[in-house]
Structure formats: C-alpha cells, structure tokens
Chains A and B, each alone.
Chain A
Amino acid sequence: MNLDAKIPSGPIAQKWDKHRFDLNLVNPANKRKYEVIVVGSGLAGASAAASLAELGYNVKCFCYQDSPRRAHSIAAQGGINAAKNYQNDGDSVYRLFYDTVKGGDYRSREANVYRLAQVSVNIIDQCAAQGVPFAREYGGLLANRSFGGAQVSRTFYARGQTGQQLLLGAYSALSRQIGLGKVKMYTRTELLDVVLVDGQAKGIVVRNMVTGEISRHSAHAVVLATGGYGNVFYLSTNAMGCNVTATHRAYKRGAAFANPCYTQIHPTCIPVSGDHQSKLTLMSESLRNDGRVWVPKSPDVAEKIRKGELHPSNVTDAERDYYLERKYPSFGNLVPRDVASRNSKEVCDEGRGVVSSGLGVYLDFADAINRMGESTVRERYGNLFDMYEKITGSNAYQNPMTIYPAVHYTMGGLWVDYNLMSNIPGLFVIGEANFSEHGANRLGASALMQGLADGYFVLPYTIGQYLADGGPDNRPDPDSSEFTGTEDEVRSRIDKLLSIKGKRTPTSFHRELGQIIWEKCGMARNKSGLEEAIRKIPELREEFWSNLNVPGENASINQSLELAGRVADFLEFGELMCRDALQREESCGGHFREEHQTAEGEAKRDDENFAFVGAWEYKGDQNEPQLHKESLEYEEVKMTQRSYK
C-alpha cells in the first residue's frame, strides 16, 4: 500500500501557495463536463458541494436526513477558531498551527495543520459574507471568546449555536446551487457501498430510505463527508443516525483506515440516567471557566449522597476534593478535555462518584454565584442551565450540576494525502470522516474550522488536479459490471438482514457492542481488555448474523433495517478500533494505555516508536487487517511532554 502523503517541498508557510500553483487546473469551459458525488451535507459536505458547483462542476449530494440542514454539525455549541488576531493579543497563523499540533499530542501532520491555520481566516470572512449572525461588540465588529488549550482569544461564536449558524450558512450556499440546478440533492438517501472501476472510485450505490429503491450513481470522483464513528460506543453525543457505513465500506474496498483508536471523550456531559438512555448530551466546555469540579474525599460520604441521605450543599469544604485544582494548580478546572475526562473516571472508579449509578462528578457554581451574583451567571450560561434543567429536572443554580465524560468526536478516519484524497484514486475524504489534522486529540472549536476549511478552501482546488489528469471521458457507465455487481452485493446483504428472523433487535446488539467498546476501548485501555474485546466482538457479530430480527420489508421506510445495516458495520469496525488501540503501545491524547503512564498517572508518549499514522488495510473477512505506517516528521514544532500542572 502506498501511503505517500504528497507533502509539497519548501518552507512550511509557502507549501500551500506553491502547491496551489503546481496543481493542474480544469478549464472553466470544461468543468461542466465533470460530475462529482458528495456524500454528506454537514459543514464539510455542504460547503464542498456548494463550492464545487460554483466552480461549474455538476454535483450530486446525498444525505440520510430529510433535509441537508439537519446534519450533526448543527449541534456544535461553542465556536470556531480562526487566526484573525482581531483581539491584538498576539495570535497568528503560526500560533494556531502550534497550538493545534501540541493539542493533538504530536500525532498530526505539520503541513496539513499549517494549511488549516492559514485558511482559518478565510472561513470567517466567508461565513460573515453569507450573513451568519456572529456575536458582535457594540462597535459592530466581531466578538471572540477563549477556549481550552489556547492562551489567546480566537474563537468566533453565535450564542451557543455556532455549529447551527455555520451549517445554515453552508446550507444556504448549497440551496442556492440546488436552485440553480448545479447540485442535485438526494435526501433520505443512504450510501451502502462505493464502486471502484480499475482501482479508482467512480460511483456509489445508495438506498432511497422512503421507497427502498436501490440505485447506482457514477461520477468522475467521489467525496465522502460522512462524519465520525462515535456511535460505535452506542452512547455518544452524536446524532442517532451518525454511522460508520460509508467510511467502513470504503475501507473494505481498499481505502486505508487511519488511527481508528483516537477518540475524544468530552468531560462535561450529562450523566447516564438509566438503561433506556439513547444518547448523551454535551454541556459546553465553557462551563469550566466558572464551575468547580469536585467529589467527596471519602467514598462513604459519596455513598450517602448516592443514596439520597446527604445533600451536596451539606458537605463541608474540608470533606470535598476539588481534584483538578489540587492536581493541576496552574490550569485547574481548565485542563484539556482528555485530562479532565480521565480524572473524572479515576475518582469514580475509587467509589467517589455522586450520581445513583456512581458515574458522575459535581460541576459546582455555588462559588461563582457568590462571587458574581446569580444574574451574571445566568447571563453567561443561562441557556446551558435551562437545557440541563430540561433534561435532568434539576436546577443548577440551587444544586451543583452533575457531569460525566462521553464520547464526542473521533480523530481517526480514512487516510488521506495532502490533497485530501485517500489511497484509492478519485476517493476524497473531508471533515471528521478523514483522519484529519487533530492528531490524537482535538482542541475545542477546531472541528468546525476543519470541516469548512476542507469544503470551502482545500478540496475545490485539490480535486481539480485529479479531474484534469483523468479527463472528462473518465466516467464509467453505471450499467457496467462493476456497478451492477456492487448493487447485487448490496441487495443480497439487505435480503440477508431481513431474512434472519431471529430473536434480538438491532438496538440490543448495538447496545451490547457499545458496552464492550466503552469498557475495553474507552477512556483507559489495557492489553488484556483489548484482547478480550477482540475475542468478544466476533462472537457478537456471529450472533448478529444468526439471531437478528428485522421486521417489515425493504420497500418502505424501515428504520429497523436502516439501523441493522449500520450496526452490522459497527460490529466489524469496532474490532478494528480495538486492534489499533492494541498495537499503539503508548498513551497519547485521547488514547490512554494504562501500561504507559508517568508516575503521576499522566499519558506517556513514545515518540521513538510511535510517531506514525497507523493506517489499516482490509485483507478479507477471514484475515487480520494489515497495519501500514506513515511516519510523522516534525520540522517546525519540537515534541515535548504536554504539561498542564
């Protein structure tokens, strides 16, 4: 397998400029002779589809939701980073680049991250021009807030709904192109496989989720913007429909899957309340600016709280352990996400958790309310407190909030080169779906930045090179044997899912898989646990294919069938994730191996042996996948141990 990242030569600040000049262009009059498929309509997909159509390409865009406006980018709360230096506080492209490489625990590609920081400034201009109602100061200029992992104020926001407003901006650009007839939009349509012709990605097979119709679509190139795989854990902050099918199907067609073990666990989510729980809800990281995280010092006191015999306000200060402030005096409650999450797990494992399940810690605003008054706290966080009360029924002005970590984002994804093309020619992967610029840990407010950077400002240039090289005739007939053959495989898979008629529901398998992954490949991992998971998952998969019950038929809306297909892919993918976590004998970012920690219990990297991207090649269902390594070279940033003490 060829993992040539195609990083341009020259000084880092000039690589992207030089590369853009070196890329072949498609003549404006020829662009209309090309067709591009974009799968997904979130920030990356919608911005790419709109920008490609503006350039003159014909675009087909697909999403599983009933409208492209509903993609899960919409749920991002906090903001989007950009190196605008509008605050005059010393920010620069180089600083954003540096913070992102460091935040990613030195497991990302320097050249990609630098380009991301460069185009970040264009994104804000673009969104403002679309009419995105960013927060403003009284002078009419854009406001900023600060976010974890940075010492400058570079985050742009629109109340607590930044993702929504940016997505609606991209959706409006997409809508305009749909209206102009340059984008053909397919809603409630799910990708079920990728079609390769002569080793190149030339189309997809999809299912119309209303009629069950299976159809083939051919194009000059295929772009996957299908998001992350967090739902492999069953419970996550992802939307119910988020799935790994598109990227996993591409993997099974030969695309390398990179760093699947890198998952981000967000520290401030609302704890699980019972077995019925269908998803988890995030509370913005910004709460940690004023809330203090604590649990009782003694497990006995925690036990009384769990039984409802003791109210937290009656626990004296001497009996409380503000463990983040104690262990990390300089960053305190604002340590990065991975550090905060691991510490919550640790105190709960010690029996000091405070919700009935034992899996929850306090985020207490009592001191903030005493210091600033309730009205100031309400002004800053009112919408979050309201949301918390809606879900839990508890008033966080009177009782401390309870929080616990939850799966939130996946840094791993399909391997791509500097052009965002996978190792399959013609298959481009953008946004969370690729293995991205976040290394082993993503900083807050960087996911929106990456999605829009890829879609607006990177892919529209880089795809031109591939298209120009292939020429307008390089588009196969959708009736060719490659297409019909793939369609037959898709159909027989659906028939199989419907015909098992066993006893268990797709959800029950999904929940069981999620428990295995959360326990063995969650916040802390170890060799024996991962080996156990790698043993258990195939057993569960076997039961799935012999004891699944999907009622109904294919030819109508059948949500059990949709879920069954996604769970089938998660059952294969989960194993790959555990294999990757097992091979990575170090701790870095979101990947914490218990065997590899410092004396103080912090993540211990092994730069000598693991400064590489781990990219997996599918070798058939009966064989183990093969690991390939792309080594990471650091020319600009010196690798150091992250310290937040």
Chain B
Amino acid sequence: MGKELNLKLKVWRQDNTDDSGRFEEYDAKGIDTDMSFLEMLDVVNEGLNEDGKEPIAFDSDCREGICGSCSMVINGVPHGGQQGTTACQLHMRHFSDGMTITIEPWRASAFPVQRDLVVDRTAFDRIQQAGGFVSVRTGSVPDANATPVPKEDADLAMDAAQCIGCGACVAACKNASAMLFVAAKVSHLSLVPQGQPERERRALAMVQKMDEEGFGSCTVTGSCEAVCPKQISLDFIARMNREYGCALIKKGTV
C-alpha cells in the first residue's frame, strides 16, 4: 500500500454526440498512490454506481499501454504528461493530496464525443483502409528470408510501427492534425522492401483520406511528439512529406 490521497475531479460529462456537455465535480477520496489513474476512476465509478448514478464512461482495455484504447486529457495534457505513458499506465503517485484534476475527452472535430470521455476514432481506421497495407494475398508470398532487410531499416521501421493509434497526437495538436499517426504508417511501410511497390499510391491515398476526414494541417509545433505514449519522432513527419512530395512528382501533378 502506498499513501492515501484525497482529490477533486472535474470531469467532462456528455450524454451523446448531440448533447452540449458540461463539467461535473466529484470527490475522489482515499486514493492509494499505487493505483493507476484509471483505477482511481474505477473507484469513483463504483461509488457512483452504488448510489444508482451513471458512472463516467471512458475507454480502456488492455491497461498495459499497448492497445491504444484509453483516451483522456488530464489537466490539459493527453494521457497526463508523464513521458511515454498512456493514461492506463499513469499512476497516482505522480499526484499530490488535495489536487483538483480536470479530465476531458480528446477534442477534435474528426473525433466526435460519443459519451463522456469516449470518442469515435474510426477516422483512423478509414485512413488505414485507404492504403495502410501491403497488398499481399494469404499464401502468395516468398520465403521470409528471401528478402533481406538491413537491420537499421528494420529497426527504424519498428520505431514507426509501434504507434498504438490512440489519437493523443491529434488531441494535443492545436490544428487537430493527424500527421504523426499517418506518418508513422507511411514511414513504416516505406522503410521495408515489401512496402515499395505501393509506396507512392499509399502516401497519396492516406494523405488524401486524412484530409477528407477533417483533420487539420500540420504546422510542426511538435506537440504530437511531446505527448506520444510511444515517443514516435517528429522526423517521421518530415519523411512522410518527402514521400508525399516524391509521389506527386512521379505522378506528374507537380
């Protein structure tokens, strides 16, 4: 057992997408510093449920920082401001007794709020469906070692590929841009030989879809990189811009 904290929460409550929403205040009492942030919310929710009130809706699943479900802005910072950490891995030992904590959903027009802290991130899926893949049928592939991949390329591809698709980058960006998310996928596949045949198509299709979904433009403030729980580098945005530019030139539109 760690120490105990008594906290005040200001939580965004919204019944559905059409509701205008409001902040409501709750007491979080006797919170053990060994709890995760979401376990603290579980405790508050149990109390609400016991009183017959509707608990605060929020997304979470794996609770070990890899599924990308959890999505809340804590005191103004997506995932709460501990570097390289999702909200589910954020622990209460980083908070002090008597604090007021403000909790909001991701805010971006491409991520409409569905209820309380739950948002609709299917726009990310649609961007992937536009081109975030290698077109390869099950079974029609060569032996895995037939195509060597330089270790440096594979490692860099892995740096990009570890994006968990949580959307914190969009939530942190003043323009609600999805560039870091799209750049991670475009970079990952442009760095491995298997991704080469569709390299240009992919960059063009994913960027086009990103724009259609209503994400804003990138002005390279770097807020996305600062909050990314997987610490995906801003360099990948530069890489995607190059991929996109080269694709436009090859296509003859520039």
B128 and A51 within 8 A (CB): no
Interface-facing stretch out of A69-77, A411-419, A614-622: A69-77
State whether the Cβ of A584 lies closer than 8 Å to any Cβ in chain B: no
State whether the Cβ of B67 lies closer than 8 Å to any Cβ in chain A: yes
State whether the Cβ of A164 lies closer than 8 Å to any Cβ in chain B: yes
Chain B residues bordering chain A, tally (CB within 8 A) = 81
* Residues B186-209 near A (CB distance < 8 A): 188-189, 192, 194-195
A176 and B122 within 8 A (CB): no
A67 and B15 within 8 A (CB): no
With both beta carbons as reference points, the residue of chain A lying nearest to B63 in the complex is identified as A279
The CA of A72 and the CA of B161, in the complex, are separated in Å by 17
* Residues A538-583 near B (CB distance < 8 A): 549, 551-552, 556-560
- Given that A66-B69, A172-B133 are known contacts, is A75 also in contact with B154, CB under 8 Å in the complex? no
Question: Chain A residues near B85 (CB, 8 Å)?
Answer: 390
The CA of A287 and the CA of B120, in the complex, are separated in Å by 38
A51 and B138 within 8 A (CB): yes
Interface-facing stretch out of B38-46, B211-219, B234-242, B245-253: B38-46
Question: Chain B residues near A279 (CB, 8 Å)?
Answer: 63-64
Q: Kindly provide the distance from the CB of A633 to the nearest chain B CB, expressed in whole angstroms.
A: 31
Which among A54, A139, A551 has the greatest number of chain B C-beta atoms within 10 A? Answer: A551
B53 and A273 within 8 A (CB): no
Question: Chain A residues near B67 (CB, 8 Å)?
Answer: 65, 70-72, 74-75, 239
* Residues A124-138 near B (CB distance < 8 A): 124-131, 133-138
Question: Chain A residues near B162 (CB, 8 Å)?
Answer: 159, 161, 164
State whether the Cβ of B20 lies closer than 8 Å to any Cβ in chain A: no
A239 and B53 within 8 A (CB): no
- Given that A66-B121, A549-B50 are known contacts, is A128 also in contact with B194, CB under 8 Å in the complex? yes
B158 in complex: contacting residue of A67, A159, A282, CB < 8 Å: A159
B148 and A66 within 8 A (CB): no
A276 and B43 within 8 A (CB): yes
The CA of A66 and the CA of B54, in the complex, are separated in Å by 21
Which among B89, B144, B151 has the greatest number of chain A C-beta atoms within 10 A? Answer: B144
The CA of A76 and the CA of B98, in the complex, are separated in Å by 38
With both beta carbons as reference points, the residue of chain A lying nearest to B164 in the complex is identified as A164
The CA of A558 and the CA of B135, in the complex, are separated in Å by 38
Q: Kindly provide the distance from the CB of A177 to the nearest chain B CB, expressed in whole angstroms.
A: 9
Question: Chain A residues near B35 (CB, 8 Å)?
Answer: 273-274, 276
Question: Chain B residues near A125 (CB, 8 Å)?
Answer: 141-144
- Given that A274-B35, A390-B85 are known contacts, is A130 also in contact with B53, CB under 8 Å in the complex? no
- Given that A131-B188, A273-B1, A460-B138 are known contacts, is A74 also in contact with B122, CB under 8 Å in the complex? no
A75 and B66 within 8 A (CB): yes
Q: Kindly provide the distance from the CB of A77 to the nearest chain B CB, expressed in whole angstroms.
A: 9
B129 and A70 within 8 A (CB): no
The CA of A47 and the CA of B137, in the complex, are separated in Å by 11
B128 in complex: contacting residue of A140, A175, A390, CB < 8 Å: A175
Question: Chain B residues near A136 (CB, 8 Å)?
Answer: 148-151, 154-155
Which among A128, A164, A460 has the greatest number of chain B C-beta atoms within 10 A? Answer: A128
Which among B63, B89, B118, B150 has the greatest number of chain A C-beta atoms within 10 A? Answer: B63
The CA of A508 and the CA of B18, in the complex, are separated in Å by 33
Q: Kindly provide the distance from the CB of A23 to the nearest chain B CB, expressed in whole angstroms.
A: 15
The interface bits of chain A over 430-459 (1 if a CB of B lies within 8 angstroms of the residue's CB, else 0) are 000000000000000000000000001100
The CA of A208 and the CA of B194, in the complex, are separated in Å by 37
A65 and B69 within 8 A (CB): yes
With both beta carbons as reference points, the residue of chain A lying nearest to B145 in the complex is identified as A141
B59 and A173 within 8 A (CB): no
State whether the Cβ of B61 lies closer than 8 Å to any Cβ in chain A: yes
B34 and A273 within 8 A (CB): yes
B32 in complex: contacting residue of A47, A129, A158, A276, CB < 8 Å: A276
The interface bits of chain B over 124-144 (1 if a CB of A lies within 8 angstroms of the residue's CB, else 0) are 110011101111111101111
State whether the Cβ of A486 lies closer than 8 Å to any Cβ in chain B: no
A551 and B54 within 8 A (CB): yes
The CA of A254 and the CA of B63, in the complex, are separated in Å by 34
B120 and A66 within 8 A (CB): yes
B138 and A240 within 8 A (CB): no
A241 in complex: contacting residue of B61, B114, B115, B149, CB < 8 Å: B61
State whether the Cβ of B49 lies closer than 8 Å to any Cβ in chain A: yes
B151 and A138 within 8 A (CB): yes
Chain A residues near B (Cβ < 8 Å): 47, 50-51, 54, 65-72, 74-75, 84, 86, 122, 124-131, 133-142, 158-159, 161, 164-165, 168, 171-173, 175-176, 178-179, 185, 187, 210, 237, 239-241, 273-274, 276-279, 281-282, 356, 387, 390-393, 456-457, 460, 501, 503, 505-508, 549, 551-552, 556-560
5 interchain residue pairs of minimum CB distance: A140-B148, A129-B141, A172-B133, A179-B129, A128-B144
15 new A-B pairs (CB below 8 Å) besides A66-B120, A161-B66, A276-B43? A67-B125, A70-B61, A70-B68, A126-B141, A129-B134, A129-B136, A131-B195, A142-B144, A164-B162, A179-B129, A237-B64, A274-B34, A387-B89, A390-B89, A505-B49
